[in-house]
Structure 1
Amino acid sequence: MTTKPFPSELRDWVAGHLPGLDASEDRSWPRSSSRVWRVTAGSRTAYVKIGPSDLDYEREIAGYAYAAAHLTDREAPRLLAADPRLRAILSSVLPGRVVRALPLEPDVELRLFEDAGRLLRRWHDASGPGTDADRAAVRAELREQAQEAAECLESTAPYLAADRLALVEAASKELVGLADQLPLVYRHGDYETRNWLYDEETGRHGLIDFAMARRGVAAAEFVWLFGALWPLRPDLREAYFAGYGRPLTAEEDRLLHLLTVRLGVSYLHNGLVEGREDLVARGRLALDRMVAHRP
């Protein structure tokens, strides 16, 4: 991946908040929309990020405020400065390393997943009631996903067995109604292992990246874990929900199942359109797993 240059205008802005700025290191994810740098000024370090859109920027600023109110500064970074014109966010450095692909002893991994569930439950419990506007936004989001499932059904039908087709059809018809049955929470929105940090010195679990934070249903937080990780590691799911403090309700389990079906058929559709076998394989695997797990 090509290293992304540190824009001069951004450098000047950071230097105004971090005097003595002397180094920057690209820490972006391997996608075009990700622009993140670790910056240093003598012994001080921070992260600076350019939000990919105004909406991402606004959500992340709100997410930082929420994290500061409900998580300690060892559990979530703090917002140091922000500029809406640049969509720039300067934040403190949280101790630890990203959990995804981090080699962990089995007992440490189980404890980490339990801690992750416990932290997310605290995050959700602090949400407060949503508004009618929040409910309408969630309904619109789920309607879009249901429509996507319906559109993907047309393109992928020749490649799917009857049981897979039935699941995609169910996703296209049931998602909106299921969402209306469930309470709203303030979601992190991207609560997966790439945004968890583990501090080996203290054993603490930390959380980063609030660009997708918004109101929604709790079950939507679990889609990546449910589709990619838990089918292979049911022990990690058990530890996670032990920390979360309650199992999913029947309605939440059904919603989670169909949201994951929607994601799987989207991968399959995009893979077929773009000629990408990796996406085709990912989509097929997700749908196979959802057939095996019927709530």
Structure 2
Amino acid sequence: MTDPNSLAAPLRSWAEKTLGPLTAVRRLPPGSSPAAVWQVVRGSDNARFHLKTAPSPGAFTRETFAYRHAVPALGPGNAPRLVATSARHLAMILTALPGAPLSQARLSETALRTVHWRAGMLVAELHQAGRPTPTTRREASAFLSRLADAAARHADAAGDQLSSAERQFVTALADHLRVLDRLPLGFVHGGGIESALRWSGTARPALQDFDRARFAPVVVDFVHLDCVLWAERPLLRAAFFEGYGRAPGAEEQQALRCLTGLHAVRSLAEGSTCGDRAAARTVLDRLKSEVGV
């Protein structure tokens, strides 16, 4: 039986050519990214690194671009640093961040509000990093339309988890999302922000996992937080946007409602655990009640 902690020989050989001999290798549990990640320890100084293999060439391209062109704007210690890449292996070596995912932190309400305020500042810095080319600007403007186009497929996959009225509601959300064309663009993380934030006991969290990063309407980075956490704890939402520097505008509020609903339907269709589906159902029911469906 293959040791799940082991690295394939070609991958380990590349890593050791870059870092030197490794004394420990450990496969990390899945996090906010679908990539495979190992923690490796360099023998010469016991420094820890993460060796990450992307799930696809597109994810590799997005993440390496992010680390080279946008992540440096976050400042030292606020995100991993890119050490080396291998397009052949779809692999990258990153410095390891201290701490644990913010979603696992046990903090007082006051401390958590401070962390979310700091997280808002960090996400704002990411959104302002880099300048889109004409091509990436066009792609960013079309991003929400692609999400709207996928709604019918996700609704079909959800099957009898959605009523006929709910399918009509999902269609209305998707149609409305397509006409929102004055949304602020920026360089977005694109994944689950709360799971990608790490906290190590300092007031300011760090951000990792940029395999979904791209230029897009910045509102997409608020969806995962808005689905459950902010709905249950609105003071955290207020703290985040105070740190971010502004509250969502009117069109962004509309987009956030639509995106949250479509994300819930996708979770119903693809959720791998009862908890995911239960949370998605709660979100969908909340949105329906707000508009009287």
Residue in structure 1 matched with residue 150 of structure 2 by the alignment: 148
Q: Relative to 1, partners in 2 of residues 1:16 and 1:265: Cα closer, same or farther, differing over 3 Å?
A: same
User: Secondary structure of the equivalent of 2:50?
Assistant: strand
User: Secondary structure of the equivalent of 2:215?
Assistant: strand
- Letter paired with 1:267: S
Partner Cα separation in structure 1 for residue 238 and residue 33 of structure 2: 35
Pair 1:35 & 2:36 matched: yes
Shift of 1:122: 1.7
Alignment of 1:116-265 (within 5 A): 116-128=119-131, 130-153=132-155, 160=162, 164-178=166-180, 180-200=181-201, 202-265=202-265
- Letter paired with 1:287: L
- Letter paired with 2:15: V
Residue in structure 1 matched with residue 8 of structure 2 by the alignment: 7
Q: Sequence identity, in percent?
A: 31
Pair 1:281 & 2:278 matched: yes
Partner Cα separation in structure 2 for residue 106 and residue 155 of structure 1: 38
Shift of 1:282: 3.5
- Tell me, yes or no, if the aligned pair for 1:167 and 1:261 is still in contact at 8 Å: no
Pair 1:109 & 2:112 matched: yes
Number of residues of Structure 1 aligned to a counterpart in Structure 2? 287
- Tell me, yes or no, if the aligned pair for 1:74 and 1:95 is still in contact at 8 Å: no
Partner Cα separation in structure 1 for residue 163 and residue 71 of structure 2: 48
Residue in structure 2 matched with residue 290 of structure 1 by the alignment: 287
- Letter paired with 1:138: A
Residue in structure 1 matched with residue 92 of structure 2 by the alignment: 89
Cα deviation per residue 1:53-101 (whole Å; 9 max; x = unaligned)?
Answer: 1111111111111345312221111111111001110011223221112
Shift of 1:140: 4.1
User: Secondary structure of the equivalent of 2:121?
Assistant: helix
- Tell me, yes or no, if the aligned pair for 1:25 and 1:38 is still in contact at 8 Å: yes
Partner Cα separation in structure 2 for residue 100 and residue 251 of structure 1: 29
- Letter paired with 1:70: A
- Letter paired with 2:100: R
Partner Cα separation in structure 2 for residue 159 and residue 25 of structure 1: 39
Partner Cα separation in structure 2 for residue 22 and residue 157 of structure 1: 49
- Letter paired with 1:41: R
TM-score of the two chains, using structure 2 as the length reference? 0.88
Unmatched segments (≥5 aa) in structure 2: none
Two-structure CA RMSD over aligned residues (Å): 2.6
Partner Cα separation in structure 2 for residue 140 and residue 277 of structure 1: 33
Partner Cα separation in structure 2 for residue 252 and residue 132 of structure 1: 22
Partner Cα separation in structure 2 for residue 227 and residue 258 of structure 1: 11
**Larger displacement relative to structure 2 (96-105 or 157-166):** 157-166
Partner Cα separation in structure 2 for residue 101 and residue 32 of structure 1: 16
- Tell me, yes or no, if the aligned pair for 2:70 and 2:129 is still in contact at 8 Å: no
Shift of 1:184: 1.6
- Letter paired with 1:83: S
- Tell me, yes or no, if the aligned pair for 2:227 and 2:260 is still in contact at 8 Å: yes
